[in-house]
Amino acid sequence: MDDPARGDRVFAAVRRTEALSDLARRFDGALVSLLLSLTDPESIRKAIAMAFEETGRIDAIEAAAGYGLSGAAEELTDAQIERQVKVALLRSMQPIRATLPFLCRQGGARNGAQRILRLNPGRAGSRPGLSPRFRARY
């Protein structure tokens, strides 16, 4: 957040609203938690629509979905690896897709004023025990 006094607001997607309660208190209304699940595209669309309806615009969207799955590649099940890839790669695309119609209405898809951010936490390559996550993300 740049400056809550200027009216900047951040809508943060969370699985549990209490996860950001300390920050929300600290920034006194400038941080709004949106409860959603990346495995439920409808909850994503509703959360994005609510943020747009409340503010009238969306300036940036950041898609940084993921979770930590530890273990040697040979020890993990196929289902664990498939879920890791699905969340890290496919589910991170859902918030961007849900935001595009709103950006187009604002002229953002054409004029470049709005931004789509895709952050890659960590570094490229692999680390012991995290091979499925790094393979899915990089």
CATH 2.60.40.420 correct for 36-137: no
The tens digit of pLDDT for each residue in 17-41 reads 888 888 888 888 788 888 888 888 8
Domain boundaries, the chain: 36-137
Neighbouring C-beta atoms of residue 82, cutoff 10 Å = 13
pTM for the full predicted model: 0.68
Residue 76: pLDDT above 50? yes
Q: Which tokens in the block code for residue 119? A: 């952050």
Q: Single out the residue of 62, 59, 65 nearest to residue 40, CA to CA.
A: 65
Helix (H) or strand (E) holding 102: helix 93-106
Higher pLDDT, 62 or 41: 41
Taking the C-alpha atoms of residue 53 and residue 125, their distance in angstroms, rounded to an integer, is 40
